[in-house]
Amino acid sequence: MLRINDEIMIEDWELTEQFSRSSGPGGQNVNKVSTAVELRFEAARSPNLTGPVKSRLKRNAGRKWTSDGAILLRVEDTRSQARNREIARERLAEMIRKALQAPRRRIATRPTLSSKRRRLDKKSQRGAIKTLRKPVSGED
């Protein structure tokens, strides 16, 4: 069981782990021991997450979200299989915690009078510079 916060717990049936050989450091050990962890979380079928949380989680997960509604996390950071399992679970918990926070609504504001005046002044200055670039019409 994976604890996200006080209210949300991810059950064991929602998580599956597969182990494979890892690339990277490890010497001869890398060819013998399956230390890389592939953690699969059935997010779309999870009864512990609400609809809006699932949609935010899908948006945050990006390419890690599969077509059947699962999140795949592959971790091969360390030489230890146990440590890689911990890292994968921590990353999943952090993703879910991030999805739990609803984004704050943007409050529309109007530009101030002085900012409007500054914008118009700069606009007229810019126009004056451009008129000075034109060829001079001679009255000789």
**For residue 140, what pLDDT is reported?**
56
Per-residue pLDDT tens for 50-107? 889 899 999 988 899 999 989 999 998 888 889 998 999 999 999 998 988 888 999 9
Of residues 128, 138, 62, the one with CA closest to residue 98? 62
- For 59-80, letters b (16+ CB in 10 Å) and e give eebeebbeeeebbebebbebbe
- Give this prediction's pTM: 0.70
Q: What is the rounded CA–CA span in Å between residue 59 and residue 46?
A: 16
Contact 41, 10 (CB under 8 A): yes
Indicate whether 38 pLDDT > 60.
yes
